[in-house]
Amino acid sequence: MTVGVVLNTTGPGNQIDATVRLAQEAAAAGLRSAWFGQVLGADSPQLAAIVGREVPGLQVGTSAIPVFGRHPLVVAGQALTAQAATHGRYHLGLALGTKLLTEGAFGIPFERPVARLREFLTALRQLTETGTADFRGELLTARTPLPARVPGAEDGVPLLVAAMGPRALRASGELADGILPYLAGPRALAEHIVPAVTAAAEAAGRPAPRIVAFVNAVVTDDVDAVREKATEQFAFYEQIPSYARVIGLSGGERAADVAVIGDEKTVAAEVRRYRDAGATDVVFSGTDIAGDADRRRTWALLGDLAD
């Protein structure tokens, strides 16, 4: 099982420089992968390409680019460039996105998200594997009157999806290489998510999918204070139906209920529960909410688990 961390920098300094420094620290701690979110700030594939080139020991990934407001031709170019820059260590994550961001930021109706995901993945697979596409769907068209290859990225790019609902899991199992569930605890993974995506992959004749579980986790002695901070910081996700659903399937009511907070023994035991539930990778997010000392302590544990 691969262990990794989401790198998220804040502060007045240069974000790219700060992220590279954090990635170097993560690699020195023994972590195997670094992941970068995509909202409206830094471009995640570019950030991953820079970090992967500066820190050769890390796998790098995007988690995750919404399929609304993007086009497969553009995303393929970004992903293939990152793959060439990192010599095969880049992983592309896609997401359905949310109504709030899609309509509020892009002014695009949030309609038929799973159908759009299917078409996006179909066109993107052609582009990342062959450098060409001839796809015309109901919602998207992707054609290559000129080649879209990137020398150095001939082996393609792993395609992962932040899928947790039944229809998105079915599409991901059929068309992607794995999933990136977030706020899904071991119970939701074992009873709902892993069986659904695995069955879809088997029915489509595809290999067993990767299950890259993103977990809010902190090693700390001040459990009550950190959980209170987590309750405040992660409350935003409770407004989003897909996250609210998976929190409930995990046995929680608040996003903080599925956060892993405690000493090394407690957190290591929870990582094992994720592995036993079917996770092939565990990526820690939110490790910075308790300050640098606890973040470093958390990363040290992850490095030990990786070994």
**What CATH number corresponds to the domain at position 303?**
3.20.20.30
Which of 12-26, 91-105, 154-168 shows the lowest per-residue confidence on average (mean pLDDT)?
Answer: 91-105
> Is the predicted pLDDT of residue 204 greater than 80, yes or no?
yes
Considering the domain architecture, whether residues 222 and 97 belong to the same structural domain is answered as no
Give residue 202's pLDDT: 98
Considering the domain architecture, whether residues 187 and 154 belong to the same structural domain is answered as no
Considering the domain architecture, whether residues 116 and 226 belong to the same structural domain is answered as no
Return left, alpha or beta for 69; rule: phi > 0 is left, psi -120 to 50 is alpha, else beta: left
Give residue 250's pLDDT: 97
Considering the domain architecture, whether residues 217 and 74 belong to the same structural domain is answered as no
> Is the predicted pLDDT of residue 8 greater than 90, yes or no?
no
Give residue 97's pLDDT: 86
Task: Collect all residues with Cβ–Cβ distance below 8 Å to 232 and sequence separation of at least 6.
Answer: none
Cα 224 to chain centroid distance, Å, stands at 28
Residue 12: band (very low, low, confident or very high) from pLDDT cuts 50, 70, 90: confident
Residue 57: band (very low, low, confident or very high) from pLDDT cuts 50, 70, 90: confident
Give residue 71's pLDDT: 96
Give residue 40's pLDDT: 83
Number of compact structural domains in the chain: 2
Provide, rounded to the nearest whole percent, the portion of the chain with pLDDT above 90: 84
Mean pLDDT of 263-291: 94
Domain membership of residue 251 as a residue range = 182-307
Task: Tell me the pLDDT tens digit for each residue of 170-190.
Answer: 999 999 999 999 999 999 999
Q: Model-level pTM greater than 0.85? A: yes
Give residue 116's pLDDT: 96
